[in-house]
Structure 1
Amino acid sequence: MRSIALLDGGLGQEIYRRASSVSSPLWSVAVMLEQPDIVTAVHADFIRAGARTLTLNTYAATPTRLRRQGVYEQMGAIHRQAFQALEQAIDVTGVAVDIAGCLAPLVGSYQAQPDRSFEDLRNEYATLVELQASADVFLIETMSNSLEARAACAAVQGLGKPFGVAFRLEADGRLRSGETLSEAVAAVKPHAPTAVLLNCCDPDLVSASMPELVELYPCVGGYANAFKSVEPMASGGSVDELEAREDISPEAYATQVRQWLADGARVIGGCCEITPAHIGHMAGVLANEFEFIRFSQLSDQCR
């Protein structure tokens, strides 16, 4: 039976959706500061659905974003609270899972090449790595340019822990920076990530690009979103302006994921608007064909 790493779904969006009274540029981090029990409940629901690698709720907790919102001094406390929320969910469910540190775009999602040096970006990511150093693995997510991706890789690889790099593709199959998928993979390949992934883009786009990605790197995967469009947020708006696609049901998403697996994906999960119901259905329909493992176990499987 083939082994695949099963990630959780759209953690931040699921948290934000359940806390309808909270509206903030800090997204699910703001919810955690006011209603931490919601974060624990979402983690627990993803674990019960079958996820075996759970990401910390720190996507928006970068130094740049926290400083911009005037809460930089709370950065350490925020990261400690994110660990506590996930650890409580693990205790409640009694399931052995990986805790994944989250290295997200430093300024915001869906942006092109940042006007910053490699060293500057690496230093900020190093701060995040230090705050999340006790995580089992790391996921570098929603990368829209290779400069930020390389900086994150350089910051985390010294820990010697498994890590993945996930790129966000636009409708033309390129990164928002204009780089091709091949160029992006080549840029991070010297850092030897455990896996190279596609995330936070349309499921159809992941399906279209997966065969190429399989040819570019030994261990790959994907976790798509179910937004109608991210352009309102990419243009400076807030997550409140984004709309979910009603046609991406758990059944429809599982059909797409099955195609990724047929093409050679070894890591699957979901991004924004992919709920515990999506992950649970996917785990159920695939259980007779695949063994679900933690991301940290991939190294032995992808040689």
Structure 2
Amino acid sequence: MNPIEQILSEYSMMILDGAFSTELERRGCDLNDPLWSTKVLMENPDIIGAVHEDYFKAGADCAITASYQATYEGFMKRGMTKEEAKELIQLSVRIATKVRDTFWGNPENRINRPKPIVAASVGPYGAFVADGSEYRGNYGLTKEQLEDFHRERMETLIEAGPDILACETIPCLVEAQAVVNILEEHSGMYAWISFSAKDGMRINSGEPIVDCARWLDSHPQVAAIGVNCTPPEFMESLISEIRKGTNKPIVLYPNSGEQYDAETKTWHGCSSGMCYGDAAKRWYKKGARLIGGCCRTTPEDIHNIALWSRE
């Protein structure tokens, strides 16, 4: 069964986790590397589990795995064998699943909430090339080339047994179409498709998000459609645009509001002092049903969503 549909049949919304990579950095990890957070799978997998656990304690109903930049090509560039790369990609799912099962094993953690699910992160092609192109969508690749890039690692993640795939930070419709084509080769597996957007109407490639929602709407294995890794001030407009194209659940997990410089790999500015929990309440009232956080958000932000959503 569609795991999102199952949760939303019993609860009014589903709380996602927050930032992963910037949370690892807060805990002392050096991610200035083309593999970004994925290199922690190689170096210190225990800290990945600790981040998942803190988000579950904060109230998250979903753990998004540390596989955003986990690709065969990336690991093999580091001199790993294909089997070693496969092991690391699947390790991301096993870590999240083990932490979830341990957390759910305590009856005190089951009060007034669904059993959390594990979403295997499928980052965009731009995350692999690590040149910021996931914020532009100008790959110059065909749908078939993108399918060739995504297929093996998606199959590897599915084999590891997550509840759902999180196909996230997608900057262009052709890449969304590529991952959906692969998804549909695996009956019974579901995914959410989450775009990165440049404003309140368009994804980073410049395509209207309503057109993306309309295309995805006819694909039953797409369990939710939405936006991540995007400034929070665009969320309400994007919700309205997405709703014009689909009745599927809307998933939102924006950044904190700071701006990322892809060249220097640093963050600038501030989150404008807004209360993330209060903003999430507005997004819920506007129609979003899966809400969490992306870059620079914290377990505290997720806890602030849980405070009002579980009153």
Question: If the length of structure 2 is used for normalisation, what is the TM-score?
Answer: 0.83
Asked whether the equivalents of residues 15 and 305 of structure 2 are also in contact (C-alpha less than 8 Å), the reply is no
Whether the 8 Å CA contact 1:226–1:244 is kept in 2: the answer is: no
2:179 counterpart letter in structure 1: A
**Unaligned stretches of 5+ in structure 1?**
289-303
Give the direction of change, closer, same or farther, for the CA distance of 1:167–1:72 in structure 2 (3 Å limit). farther
Describe the SS at the equivalent of 1:158: coil
Q: Please tell me whether residue 77 in structure 1 is matched to residue 102 in structure 2.
A: no
Partners of 1:14 and 1:243 lie apart in 2 by 16
Give 1:170's match in structure 2, choosing from 181, 198, 214.
198
Change (3 A) 1:117 1:69: farther
Q: 1:5 to 1:158 in 2, by over 3 A?
A: farther
Give unpaired runs (5+ residues) of structure 2: 1-9, 110-114, 128-133
Q: Which amino acid aligns with 2:255?
A: N
User: Cα deviation per residue 1:184-224 (whole Å; 9 max; x = unaligned)?
Assistant: 22333333311111111011111222122223211213111
**What secondary structure, in the 3-state scheme, does the structure 2 residue paired with 1:54 have?**
strand
Partner of 2:57: 48
Counterparts of residues 13-92 of structure 1 (less than 5 Å): 13-67=22-76, 71=80, 73=82, 74-92=84-102
Structure 1's 22 and 106: CA in aligned 2 closer, same or farther, altered over 3 A? closer
Q: Which residue of 1 aligns with 2:116?
A: 97
Residues 198-277 of structure 1 aligned to structure 2 (within 5 Å): 198-218=227-247, 219-230=249-260, 232-233=261-262, 237=263, 239=265, 241-243=266-268, 245-247=270-272, 252-277=275-300
Per-residue CA deviation, residues 230-258 of structure 1 (Å, 9 max, x unaligned), is 3x21xxx253x224625456xx1112111
Q: Percent identity?
A: 24
Match for 2:197: what amino acid? L
CA apart distance, 1:52: 1.1
Q: Which amino acid aligns with 1:158?
A: E
Equivalent residue of 2:251, what SS?
Answer: strand
What are the Cα deviations for residues 22-58 of structure 1, in whole angstroms up to 9, with x where unaligned?
A: 5322111112211111100000001111111111100
Q: Which position in structure 2 is the counterpart of 1:124?
A: 149
Q: Give the Cα separation in 2 of the matches to 1:216 and 1:72.
A: 43
> Helix, strand or coil: the match of 1:194?
strand
Counterpart residue type for residue 178 of structure 2: A
**What is the alpha-carbon distance in structure 1 between the residues aligned to residue 59 and residue 269 of structure 2?**
23
Question: 1:296 — aligned with what?
Answer: none
- Greater than 6 Å deviation, 4+ residue runs: none
1:45/1:146 CA distance change after superposition, 3 Å: same
Residue 291 of structure 1 corresponds to none
1:156 pairs with 2:179: no
Q: Please give the alpha-carbon distance, in whole angstroms, between the structure 2 residues aligned to 1:143 and 1:203.
A: 17
Matches within 5 A, 1:262-301: 262-288=285-311
**Partner of 2:7 in structure 1?**
none
Equivalent position SS for 1:29: helix
CA change 1:89–1:244 in 2 (3 A) is farther
Larger relative contact order (CA 8 Å, sep ≥ 6): 1
Q: Give the secondary-structure state (helix, strand or coil) at the position aligned to 1:195.
A: strand
Give the residue type in structure 1 aligned to 2:254. Answer: A
**What amino acid maps onto 1:164 in structure 2?**
W
Match of 1:145 among 172, 179, 187: 172
Letter in 2 for 1:85: I
For 1:286, give the aligned amino acid: S
Change (3 A) 1:120 1:72: farther
Q: Secondary structure at the match of 2:218?
A: helix
CA distance in 1, matches of 2:269, 2:20: 15
Q: 1:189 to 1:127 in 2, by over 3 A?
A: same
